[in-house]
Amino acid sequence: MSIINVTLIIYIIASVVYIAREVWWSIATKWVALGLFILGFCFNLTWLIKRSIEAGHPPFSNLYESLIFYACCTALVYIVFEFIYNFRIVGALAAVLAMLILLYATLQDPSIRPIMPALKSNWMLAHVITYMIGYGAFGISFITSLIFLAVKPFAKNKKRNEDEQGKGILPRNFDKLSYKLVAFGFPFLTLGMVTGAVWAKKAWGDYWSWDPKETWSLITWLAYLVYLHTPLILPKMNINKSKAAVMLAIWLLVSFGIVNFTFVGLNYLPSAADSEHIYGSQ
């Protein structure tokens, strides 16, 4: 059985244990769930190291490799924030998200091919790593926003919703957790754009050429920039905190859709076929 298949199975089991943790609310299931998630991450990372050795270059030169690296970064961000904020039920969906990314990767061409000269750059390394960490943070913020919207109608009162020690999936300030995740990921996204521009200058002679990938990367950046600044604007528009939180959560769902369109969706557009940034063209 391949490392990827083992990783998929571990993530599935971790998701089930996270759900069991919500049902029985025991310390044992908490640590078993987290341990399984970390194990899945370790297998994911092992594949990346193995692939890098076999290919002779960093393991994100095509869509297959990049998706697996994306899953690894998503898992890493979740693990870090799990230790800080005790995410609880988020772990079940985080494991599912990592699993779905890996599952989609298995549908891609796994062949190892020589990479183009432009990809043989340390700037490319910095560009992809920072972008994927940002994307991983946005993926977890998508999950926290989804849960926030799902459970908000069932929160009977403000006190229960804010009770950190309460059992069940009712979140404590999940909207604020989403904001912290985006605040963590946004600098990485910005660094990804900056290092990408420097890389483009070194490889093709221009910092920015407005090709489809670059344009949608800018749209992604602007979407999260708007999200980070909107909480400062909504109170001045006489929108109450409850409605503002819902609006921001919905905005995050849309923004994560933009992330995935930028990363994967553009690959399928004929208008982007000639872009040097599209994995499908490599």
> In the predicted model, what is the mean pLDDT of residues 19-31?
81
Residue 159 burial (10 A CB sphere; 0-12, 13-18, 19+) = exposed
Q: Is residue 181 over pLDDT 60?
A: yes
Distance of CA 41 to the CA centre of its chain: 14
**CA triple 242-259-187, angle to 5 deg:** 80
pLDDT of residue 166: 43
> In the predicted model, what is the mean pLDDT of residues 160-187?
70
Grouping H, G, I as helix, E, B as strand and the rest as coil, residue 112 is coil
Cβ neighbors of 196 (< 8 A, separation 6 or more) are 123, 127, 131, 214, 217
Type of residue numbered 29: T
Residue 36 corresponds to which tokens in the numbers above?
Answer: 């399984």
Rounded Cα distance, 29 and 45, in Å: 24
> In the predicted model, what is the mean pLDDT of residues 43-51?
94
Average pLDDT score, the chain: 84
pLDDT of residue 271: 61
Q: Are 202 and 255 in contact (CB under 8 A)?
A: no
Residue with tokens 């996270």: 18
Q: Is residue 121 over pLDDT 80?
A: no
> In the predicted model, what is the mean pLDDT of residues 44-51?
94
Q: Is residue 36 over pLDDT 70?
A: yes
Q: What percent of the chain has pLDDT over 70?
A: 87
> In the predicted model, what is the mean pLDDT of residues 132-139?
96
pLDDT of residue 240: 76
pLDDT of residue 58: 84
Rounded Cα distance, 45 and 68, in Å: 9
> In the predicted model, what is the mean pLDDT of residues 206-220?
86
Among the ranges given (37-41, 50-54, 168-172), the one the predictor scored with the smallest mean pLDDT: 168-172
Q: Are 59 and 113 in contact (CB under 8 A)?
A: no
What is the total residue count of the chain?
Answer: 282
Rounded Cα distance, 66 and 27, in Å: 35
Q: Where are the domains of the chain?
A: 1-113, 116-282
Q: Is residue 151 over pLDDT 70?
A: yes
Looking at per-residue confidence, does 169 or 232 come out higher?
Answer: 232
Q: Are 99 and 11 in contact (CB under 8 A)?
A: yes
> In the predicted model, what is the mean pLDDT of residues 67-75?
96
Backbone angles phi, psi at 132, to 5 degrees: -70, -35
